[in-house]
Amino acid sequence: MKGSDNAIRQTAAFTARNIKLFFKDKGMLISALIAPLIIMFLYVVFLHNVLKSSFTGSLPAEFVLSDKLMNGYIAAYEISSILAVSCVTVAFIANMTMVDDRITGVRADLAVTPAKGKVLVLGYYFATATVTVAICYVAMLVGFCYIAAMGWSLSVLDVFAIMLDVLLVSLFGTALSSVVCYFLKSRGAMSAVCTIVSAVYGFICGAYYPISQFSRGIADTVMCLPWTYCTGLLRSHFMLGYASGFADAGMPADIVEEVMFALDAKMSFFGTTVPVWAMYVVVICSTLALVGVFVLLNTARSRKKKRHLRASAINR
């Protein structure tokens, strides 16, 4: 029991140390904060009217929706896209502390301290997750303000569900970035990976372009990837609240259903609608699996170092 309490205190202290190091580096903090805000700015200035025109053009001519309803729906689509990407890209930036420790040799020094290997692994993970969640919640609040200005149709339950979604997707992003960053040994490699993730991830998770607009083969392939369901959760809770507004405007139920599928407010997997609870299962299981891989990688590395030290001692 005493050993367990000691491990918890060590983990908490190491987590706090990593969080302090991140916020102490103003460059990393600003880049992590500004990344989702820049994407939001680009959506608002350059893409909002394009998305609105595309959405309006897809509706039958006899349906006339209010600007508030259409603007709110498009704004919800935009913010869900931004958060789906930011919860992962911010995690990669936050994991720079772990990479820096490996570059400077701090990680090797920590390995020979009395602290157990799991303390270091959990300390890195919890610190990255805390930073990612904090920054993404800031982006979420800004997004809520934007949606309120455009046309609010979210219920209190939707807001709490979105907060839970951001937390879960941030934990997934932290686990994914931790596994990838484990293999990185330089800031150059880290910068390259962050650039690739920022450019590619938004497309393969369905954030930048609706999966319903992909070709059938690509859409089915993307739906097999776990991060797609991170986007699906955010889409559902941000956008499904507007369905009642469309129905109140006189839109038939079958047209409302098509509109929900058109921008991925609802998703289908090989022709079957994916329920929200199934998305939660996929995201949670994927996160646990990635955390398990991260722990195993570090455990295998620690054992390899111990064998190396024993062999060195014998040779002496």
pLDDT of residue 43: 86
pLDDT of residue 314: 56
pLDDT for the residue 172? 96
Pick the more confident residue, 137 or 252. Answer: 137
Please give the full DSSP string across the chain, using - where no structure is assigned.
Answer: -HHHHHHHHHHHHHHHHHHHHHHH-HHHHHHHHHHHHHHHHHIIIIIHHHHHHHHHHTS-TT----HHHHHHHHHHHHHHHHHHHHHHHHHHHHTHHHHHHHHHTHHHHHHTSSS-HHHHHHHHHHHHHHHHHHHHHHHHHHHHHHHHHH-----HHHHHHHHHHHHHHHHHHHHHHHHHHTT--SHHHHHHHHHHHHHHHHHHTTSSS-GGGS-HHHHHHHTTSTHHHHHHHHHHHHHGGGHHHHHHTT--HHHHHHHHHHTTSS-EETTEEPPHHHHHHHHHHHHHHHHHHHHHHHHHHHHHHHHHHHHHHHH-
Q: What is the pLDDT of residue 184?
A: 85
Mean per-residue pLDDT, 21-39: 86
Q: Is pLDDT above 60 for 261?
A: yes
What pLDDT shows up at residue 138? Answer: 94
Give yes or no for residue 46 having a pLDDT over 70.
yes
Average pLDDT for the chain: 85
**Banded model confidence at residue 255, pLDDT cuts 50, 70, 90:** confident
pLDDT, mean of residues 89-93: 92
Q: Which of 18-22, 160-164, 178-182, 248-252 has the highest mean pLDDT?
A: 160-164
Mean local confidence (pLDDT), 236-251: 87
Q: What is the arithmetic mean of pLDDT over 144-154?
A: 93
Is residue 11 pLDDT above 90, yes or no?
no
Whole-structure pTM value:
0.90
Residue 1: per-residue pLDDT: 52
Q: For 89-93, 155-159, 196-200, which range has the lowest pLDDT when averaged over its residues?
A: 196-200
Q: What is the pLDDT of residues 288-316, one digit of tens each?
A: 999 999 988 887 766 666 555 455 545 55
- Report percent pLDDT > 90 for the chain: 36
Per-residue pLDDT, 299: 79
For the residues 13-32, what does the mean pLDDT come to?
Answer: 86
Q: What integer pLDDT is reported at residue 5 of this predicted model?
A: 66
